[in-house]
Structure 1
Amino acid sequence: MLTVGRNDTILFMNAAARHLVGDRLRSLDQLCPKLPLRSGAMNAITTRDGAQSCLMVELEGVAGRREVFLLPGIAAPEYQPDGWAFFDELPVPLLKLAATGEVQLSNRPARDLLGVDRCQNVRLGDLMEGLGRPITDWLGDAAAGRGTVHSEFMRVRRDDKEVFAQVSLNRVVEDGQAVLIAVLSDATKLKSLEAQFVQSQKMQAIGQLAGGVAHDFNNLLTAISGHCDLLLLRHDQGDGDYADLVQISQNANRAAALVSQLLAYSRKQTLRPEIMDLRDMLADLTHLLNRLVGEKVSLILRHDPVLARIRADKRQLEQVLMNLVVNARDAMPQGGEIRIVTENLVLDEPLRRGRAVVAPGRYVSVEVSDEGVGIAPDKLQKVFEPFYSTKRVGEGTGLGLSTAYGIVKQTGGFIFVESAPGQGARFQVLLPAHQDEAPPRSAPEPTPRIAGGRSDGVVLLVEDEAPVRAFASRALQMRGFTVLEAESAEDALELLAQKDLVVDVFVTDVVMPGLDGPTWVRQALRDRPGVHVVFMSGYAEETFSDSQAQIPNSVFLPKPFSLTELTDIVLRQMA
């Protein structure tokens, strides 16, 4: 196909035309020495193999342009064509449209793209959608020659698969009436890449928003739960206010769990990975899972006998499996069967699932499948988005699957879903197999609370949030510590400028206006190398783990924390 402008200048040649001719030509006489060109007839043309006869069809476009189609290998007809007789032979998907939108002619490539056997007298709006404005207005502008851009991306109305087409309109005058030639190009791959990019940008933006909101909420929850702990210390269980304070504390903990889910989705939570066997983890979890699914649902587990170990956060992975099992249970209100299958998976080549590409290597696969109502195709792509739920209002937060997605991705794995209405759903989690053949390391035991110990030390507390600083200061003072407060890193360094001041432990927020926690601590340790450090933050430890690793005798305390957690960790740093 060629696009020819005024003075027979060749403005465009598609790849097939360049291959036939062997070069990018500048003018029509280089292709066809005997002008003018005879449309619908055999013309002598110059090709890479020499001169030959070729059937050529010329259609009038807009602004003095013409579309010229070369049909090598097609014999000339015995009758004189009118220029439209070869429409079906053209290799490019084409539609001839009336100005009102009815299809007057179509060729086979166009019908194949549209997924129909015939479309004559069918309106374009019945074949395509997604323009964003009435299709008749768009066609009317093109037929009247208004505007300059007559190319749009549209979705083809097909039931078998999703197809997008780029539609370019060219105005042609026939018998004094304006008709439109629509040139179609399959844009499915382009729109898929665009949708993948948009989805990635959206997920990243939501993740950043969730991480920021979670940080601010963790500060608020630290102050709420902390002051509630202080009040509980002054009330006995028989006191009338004690039950109300317990309710406040419990709901603050529930809010903290919700914030933890937001952090999981945004992949900014603190993970405690360990090497483990999924079979052992599921064996410990089976009792709880059976209680979750109830009596109407059967839970069936099947394991690979030589399952590889993985490196993951056990508590977070348990959360993933519980979320998947609960979703499967809710999809079967009348009861049914949930299967959990683990197996080794070795990929010799990249595995492509939707828009994700899994690199070759050894993986451990965990599948959770149900016999439920299934998920509609239009909802399947949204199930991992936060706050999206197919359940009725009040039956779910919309964070279960998004939390699972965040945890799996932060662990370095993949999660996929397959489903169809009435055929249940199958979720597959792929986690990298751990390559080290050393014996599995058990989860570290939590450090026991130190009931006694040195509690007469001096603590420098640096926190820009006044409510959090007030609670932490009171909690440490009640335990017997001397507390020096600073609302910024600069204030802390000014205090430490007093050479006779003795400080045993720095307790500091990580993210603050001005200097951040790790920066001011490194400066302070130049003159006081023996001081231990407690970093506290509403963000995940991973966000500054590299900085913390360079600071000796430092530990991390995630927000929100309780009175006991704060005093215990400071006592351990004193030891």
Structure 2
Amino acid sequence: MQFEEFDSLIADTASARATPAAAASPLVRLQYLVDNTPAIIYCTVPSGDFKMTFVSNNAYNVLGYRPEQMVADPNFWFDHIHPEDAPNIFSSLALVFTEGQRAYEYRFRIHDGSYLWMHDTLRLIRDEHGAPLEVIGSLTDITERKRMEEDLQAKGVEQQQLIAELRNAHEQLLQSEKMASIGQLAAGIAHEINNPVGFVNSNMGSLKNYVGTLLQVIDQYEQAAAPHPALAAQLAALRRQADLEFLRDDVTDLVRESMDGLKRVKDIVQALKDFSHVGETEWQVADLHHGLDSTLNIVSNEIKYKARVEKRYGVLPPVTCLASQLNQVFMNLLVNAAHALREQGVITIRTGLEAGPGGPKDHWVFVEIGDNGVGIAPENLNRIFEPFFTTKPVGSGTGLGLSLSYGIVNRHGGRIEVASVLGQGTRFTVHLPVHPPGAEAKG
């Protein structure tokens, strides 16, 4: 739409309007500048409906609408603002009458039905008495700027994701180095403990036999003295004085408990050896679901009175692995899950396939064992795989189960992850390559 004051002038000076010269009429030059500025200039009535009274001709080039079309429709501006952007504008538009100026960024529907991002600045014009005269607006297409901002934001998100991945990779590397060092320490400790435990165990076996022999000799002495009342009375007095009945029971219990304690030490040493990669078995192609079911049968007494087991098995290919050692991992995780339950709870076993970019040879599988038990404190999550670290009461656990599991999974070229929330439960996820690097399956 043109300035009404010089409609006839513009019609008579078309050539001047196309290429205004320095000597052209100021009104003609003004019309030319308004029509060719990047911003669409418009005016509205100074009332709540904001009906347009003037729109510069360049609206057609930017929006595809004729100025007269925009002026003729009293709701044109409102009807073309994106529905998601309109509420924010409408709720604050009246502030232009108190603040004198408002600026908005919103999407505006153009002639082909698509939307452009526009920057809109509205300014209230008052007459010499301070009464509102009209509202002048300036619409500028900022679509390209918005697109660049979105691209930058997407790149920023991508960079944050890369930083997070690098941080996770760094933490995993540190964890691997720490566990390797601890593994070497564990091997040394196991070797040093194994020798004295071996001869103490042998001595305790001999002591058990000796005690049994001595008790038999005492019984034979009493039998031999039975025909001689004086000697039998003397032996009976000695029996009472030494409290032989108590000694007989107690020495047997002491030897038995000592043997049990030595067996526990031997089990700990064996676990340390296993953790430090001693005594590996042969690689084989195995069905992990079969291993899980077998392990559930073994630990059924630990679980059946405390938990309901929910199996959510996916479709898994055969996996090249050290099957017996993976079953040890599953057993440790299942027993830990049962111990984490306060009362009757749920243990969930979920499995699935993780497709790799290099085809079937690059696939991974996962086994997730979760519970709805007490959870693990955040400050302990980074320590749970360390040997001898345990959150159980003293005497209730050695703290080697998870460290052993970590070593086994690491030996398979996999990783084990843990997520836990106090009071809600814990979830361990074992990720394994279908074909571990360097593994050669037998049979």
* TM-score interval, smaller chain: 0.3 to 0.5
Greater strand content: 1
**Length-normalised TM-score, structure 2:** 0.47
Greater helix content: 2
Q: Which structure's CA Rg is the greater one?
A: 2
**Length-normalised TM-score, structure 1:** 0.37
